[in-house]
């Protein structure tokens, strides 16, 4: 029997793919990159054609040794990392480290993790695409040069721990530029007149003041508004013109990465990082019961709108079966990608449209279900017929006693045929709908007299542009051609974690640190943070992948200009001295030294601190209003009888922390001994008869026997205390509320 090895990136994907292949295949995970540039040095030989100096990633020695052993014993080795540039580079590194040159097998890739796709890929291996590898290496080298050359400059001249990045600096600039627009914005006053009118059939509707005849007349202040109101006191309102038409609303295409992130934020409230994490789990595959493993969506990092003919036909069958022939267009819908997109992948879609969200609800977590439904709905809607909308525009003449004739206008829409809206309704932006537009107007005809019920005036002011949020910032990055689908979420995460921007409710605002850093970048490295330059560099990376550019030429051209800017900046900043960050002072003073406390930002948000750090290390929490919170009274810590510190032998006390109560040495934090206080749940351990307790691991809560380490029984899901009627094992409650058997072999679920 053949002995074949398949190397994928994640253990979850390995489990799914193993279920598709026979016993002659071993599927293992490399867990991402096994080789990278060193963290301690630049790792790029600037004097020798920018040669990268790769090393095996620390901590992966045992994994690499195991992979080498598996590869040596295999007849064929298939490299099945993700189908993008990063995945191609991972396969190339595996080939180099494991010595696979000339080994039977090769590189395989698939856009979806389904049995037909994997089988087809195994049957058609290829060689590694070095153009894709060169493109990835170019991006990695450029990012390393910018990061490792600029970051020390910021440490020296602003503050320690800062970093600069080729894409993150541009993303920060977007937020800073928007904030500057908001600060510079001067609101302009304007007034709105709205008339509530009644038709001869006693139906009311609202119309808005437009002007005189077909000429628009602005109302810039209260005086001009009052003059019009005086003229309208005894005005006679008549329908002057009625225009009716039918328009078609077409469905949006299936999701690209950026569109998925934007819609998931708007409709589900998911940040980009969360969206991509959930999408990854849907792509890699889930246990669907009856021993079936299946990837539910296609690859989630793409900017292509293309879908396969098979997927289009599958969508058609779903639409015909669930909605009928009138919901499917005469010609199948085909969407064209934007010019800069890479069409190697399909758009994000369900791998099997026949697997509806409702049919998978029991096997998906709540978050997986909601995201899968969003993807499924969007894809099915993209293949449906357009909606038919009846649009009505009404022009009303107000004839005044002083001889003036003013125009009011109203418009309304009425959906005559929902089409794709039956599946994927449109999301209205805040303030988009009002009393004058968007609703259905009552039937009126030209010449109809209208009864005036009320005329209301309202003062308004023009509004500044909105701050960016997760959705709009991703949209701006994509529109300007900055970054690629795989970089949007990590870029936002980086500039948030670095403290360059912060969340204010759901909007992004630049921090003082972000503004100062951006000012330095704009002044000394204008090219690096220039929108068009960054977009052009992204296009060159695409050209390398398509063999239109040489990677060495792109790096050399960039570094030549960058080196000149760097030398000039180092000289000027050294003469200027360290940049002082602006600090927000508070009314409260430091209880230790008397200085006025200032606001600082940390990993968990803003806090109050003494400006005398490091001599004075006073810190205090802030409440929601940004004021120093009153200190909580320290609870008396009681000594726990019969328990001593395992480190120093002193007494142990019970404390309270972020994750509940825990035991600690009486000398804590000088002595670091701690142990979580287990929470009893009243369930007997089926293995030893002890008691199962709730515990906390590094990432989440789990349940284990209180006789550990003598008994190692543990569960991730909460045991109910009841036994399975089919196999006798414990029943557990999943996070989605479903009660299932804890045994992997038993498929029992409570109905």
Q: DSSP of 305-368, one letter per residue?
A: ----HHHHHHHHHHHHHHT-GGGS-SS----PPPTT--TTSPPB-BS-TTS-TGGGTTTS-HHH
Measured between alpha carbons, how far is 107 from 535 in angstroms, rounded to an integer? 30
Q: Which of 299, 323, 468, 551 is catalytic?
A: 299
DSSP H helical segments within 407-487, as ranges? 470-479
Other CB atoms within 10 A of residue 638 CB: 8
Please state the three-class secondary structure of 119-142 as a single string. Answer: HHHHHCCECCCHHHHHHHHHHHHH
Token code pair at residue 56: 């095996």
**Interior angle at CA 130, CA 128 and CA 131, nearest 5:** 130
Measured between alpha carbons, how far is 408 from 210 in angstroms, rounded to an integer? 5
- Which helix H or strand E contains 517, and what residues bound it? helix 512-524
Enumerate the β-bridge partners of residue 656.
661
Residues 6 or more apart whose CB falls under 8 angstroms from that of 342 comprise 302, 303, 304, 542, 545
**Interior angle at CA 146, CA 142 and CA 149, nearest 5:** 130
Tell me which residue of 4, 698, 9 sits closest to 285, measured CA to CA: 9
Asked if 295 and 114 touch (Cβ cutoff 8 Å), the reply is yes
Q: Provide the greatest CA pair distance for the chain.
A: 100
Q: What are all long-range contacts of 308-313, with beta carbons under 8 Å and residues at least 24 apart?
A: 308/346, 311/346, 311/349, 311/353, 312/383
Sign of torsion, CA 505 510 514 518? positive
Token code pair at residue 412: 């309304």
Other CB atoms within 10 A of residue 312 CB: 17
Helices (H) and strands (E) in the chain, counts: 16, 34
Strands 660-665 and 51-52 come out as unpaired
Enumerate the β-bridge partners of residue 55.
36
Sign of torsion, CA 93 94 96 97? positive
Does the active-site annotation cover 190?
no
Which residues are identified as catalytic? 299
């Amino acid at each position: 029997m053949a002995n074949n090895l398949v190397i994928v990136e994640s253990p979850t994907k390995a489990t799914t793919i193993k279920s598709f292949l026979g016993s002659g295949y071993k599927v293992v995970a490399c867990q991402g990159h096994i080789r990278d540039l060193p963290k301690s040095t630049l790792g790029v030989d600037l004097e020798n054609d920018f040669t990268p100096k790769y090393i095996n990633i620390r901590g992966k020695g045992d994994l690499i040794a195991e992979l080498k052993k598996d590869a040596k014993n295999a007849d064929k080795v298939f490299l099945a990392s993700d189908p993008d540039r990063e995945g191609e580079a991972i396969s190339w590194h595996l080939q180099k480290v494991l010595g696979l040159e000339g080994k039977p097998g090769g590189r395989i890739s698939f856009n979806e993790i389904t049995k037909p796709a994997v089988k087809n890929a195994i049957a058609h291996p290829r060689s590694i695409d070095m153009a894709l590898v060169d493109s990835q290496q170019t991006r990695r080298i450029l990012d390393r040069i910018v990061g490792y050359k600029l970051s020390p400059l910021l440490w020296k001249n602003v503050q320690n721990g800062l970093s600069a990045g080729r894409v993150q600096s541009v993303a920060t600039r977007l937020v800073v530029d928007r904030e500057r627009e908001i600060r510079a914005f001067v609101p302009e006053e304007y007034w709105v007149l709205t008339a509530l009118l009644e038709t001869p059939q006693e139906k009311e509707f609202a119309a808005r003041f437009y002007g005189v005849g077909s000429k628009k007349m602005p109302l810039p202040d209260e005086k001009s508004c009052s003059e019009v109101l005086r003229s309208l006191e005894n005005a006679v309102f008549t329908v002057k013109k009625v225009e009716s038409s039918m328009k078609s609303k077409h469905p949006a295409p299936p999701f690209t990465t950026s569109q998925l992130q934007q819609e998931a934020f708007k409709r589900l409230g998911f940040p980009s990082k969360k969206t991509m994490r959930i999408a990854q789990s849907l792509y890699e595959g889930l246990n669907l019961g009856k021993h079936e493993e299946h990837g539910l969506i296609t690859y989630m990092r793409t900017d292509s709108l293309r879908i396969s003919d098979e997927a289009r036909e599958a969508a058609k069958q779903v639409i015909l079966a669930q909605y009928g022939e009138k919901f499917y267009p005469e010609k199948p819908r085909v969407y064209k990608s934007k010019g800069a997109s890479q069409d190697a992948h399909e758009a994000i879609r369900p791998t099997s449209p026949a697997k509806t969200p409702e049919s998978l609800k029991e096997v998906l977590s709540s978050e997986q279900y909601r995201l899968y439904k969003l993807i499924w709905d969007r894809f099915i809607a993209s293949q449906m017929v357009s909606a038919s909308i009846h649009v009505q525009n009404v022009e009303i003449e107000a004839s005044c006693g002083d001889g003036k004739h003013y125009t009011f206008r109203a418009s309304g829409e009425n959906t005559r045929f929902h089409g794709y809206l039956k599946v994927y309704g449109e999301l209205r932006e805040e303030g988009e709908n009002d009393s004058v537009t968007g609703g259905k107007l009552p039937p009126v005809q030209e010449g109809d007299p209208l009864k005036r019920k009320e005329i209301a005036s309202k003062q308004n002011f023009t509004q500044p542009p909105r701050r960016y949020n997760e959705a709009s910032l991703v949209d701006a990055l994509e529109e300007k051609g900055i970054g690629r689908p795989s970089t949007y979420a990590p870029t936002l995460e980086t500039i948030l974690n670095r403290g360059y921007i912060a969340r204010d409710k759901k909007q992004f605002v630049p921090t003082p640190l972000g503004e100062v850093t951006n000012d330095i970048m704009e002044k000394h490295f204008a090219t690096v943070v220039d929108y068009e330059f960054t977009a052009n560099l992204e296009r060159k990376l695409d050209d390398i992948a398509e063999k239109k550019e040489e990677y060495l030429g792109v790096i050399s051209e960039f570094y030549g200009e960058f080196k000149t800017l760097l030398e000039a900046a180092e000289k000027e900043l050294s003469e200027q001295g360290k940049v002082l960050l602006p600090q927000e002072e508070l009314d409260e003073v430091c209880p230790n030294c008397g200085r006025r406390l200032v606001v600082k930002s940390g990993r968990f948000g803003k806090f109050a601190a003494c400006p005398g750090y490091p001599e004075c290390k006073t810190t205090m929490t802030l409440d929601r209003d940004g004021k120093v919170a009153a200190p909580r009274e320290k609870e008396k810590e009681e000594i726990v009888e019969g328990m001593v510190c395992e480190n120093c032998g002193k007494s142990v006390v019970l404390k309270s922390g972020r994750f509940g109560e825990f035991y600690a040495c009486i000398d804590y934090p000088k002595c670091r001994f701690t142990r979580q206080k287990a929470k009893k749940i009243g369930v007997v351990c089926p293995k030893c008869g002890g008691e199962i307790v709730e515990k906390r691991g590094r990432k989440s809560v789990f349940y284990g026997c209180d006789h550990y380490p003598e008994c190692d029984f543990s569960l991730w899901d909460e045991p109910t205390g009841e036994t399975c009627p089919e196999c006798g094992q414990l029943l557990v409650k999943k996070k989605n509320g479903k009660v299932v058997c804890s045994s992997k072999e038993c498929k029992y679920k409570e109905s």
